Copies of this chain bind each other. A is one copy, B any other.
């Protein structure tokens, strides 16, 4: 794990003294995950907010018919969790899986509260993180209800070109809210032009 890069990333949001940064990093527990291993299984309570430092994870919901629907892809410097489960202690509705070999730094719910108390700047940090996440979720909702699948796929390609390279096509279909078969047909159609 490259702590230099991580610290640089944090500086985009808040200014930490070396001491504060040390304390923060001391709360994070690294965990490596081979491709296709689970960070969180459906039904288990989500105990950690995890910061991806390498690789890529996918967070998905499994519906009553066993179909998977992708909530989020998380690459380097993204946080991931089942927030609902993490905050309420309820069983997780989502599965979090490593798409490729990955590494995360886990922050427990209790340490998160501790962090807020010890270094209130982190309230600001997460305020900004959640605010940004909220904005991108708003955009996603709008694209979903306002535009057809082909257009949504184009937008996805533009917005997350690195993710498209990394993850299986079926997950992208799932993220877009369509079947893998239909995404395949969209791609064929787009290639023809």
Which residues of A are at the interface with B, using a C-beta cutoff of 8 A?
61, 63, 67, 69, 71, 83-84, 87, 116, 120, 123-124, 126-127, 130-131, 133-135, 137-142, 144-147, 174, 176-177
With A120-B123, A127-B123 already in contact, the answer to whether A141 and B144 are too (CB < 8 A) is yes
The answer to whether B134 and A130 have CB atoms under 8 Å apart is yes
A123 proximity list for chain B (CB < 8 A): 120, 123-124, 127
25 of the cross-chain contacts (CB-CB < 8 Å) are A61-B142, A61-B146, A63-B146, A69-B142, A71-B141, A83-B131, A83-B135, A84-B135, A84-B138, A87-B131, A87-B135, A116-B124, A123-B123, A123-B124, A123-B127, A124-B127, A126-B127, A127-B130, A130-B130, A130-B131, A130-B134, A134-B134, A137-B137, A137-B138, A137-B141
Rounded to whole angstroms, the CA-CA distance of A123 and B128 in the bound complex is: 9
A67 proximity list for chain B (CB < 8 A): 146
With A120-B123, A124-B116, A131-B83 already in contact, the answer to whether A141 and B141 are too (CB < 8 A) is yes
Contact residues of A: prevailing secondary structure: helix
* The residue from B71, B124, B134, B146 contacting A142, defined by CB atoms under 8 A apart: B71
Rounded to whole angstroms, the CA-CA distance of A130 and B120 in the bound complex is: 17
The answer to whether B116 and A69 have CB atoms under 8 Å apart is no
The answer to whether B146 and A144 have CB atoms under 8 Å apart is no
Query: Which residue from chain B places its CB closest to the CB of A177 in the assembled complex?
Result: B145
With A126-B127, A134-B137, A135-B83 already in contact, the answer to whether A145 and B144 are too (CB < 8 A) is yes
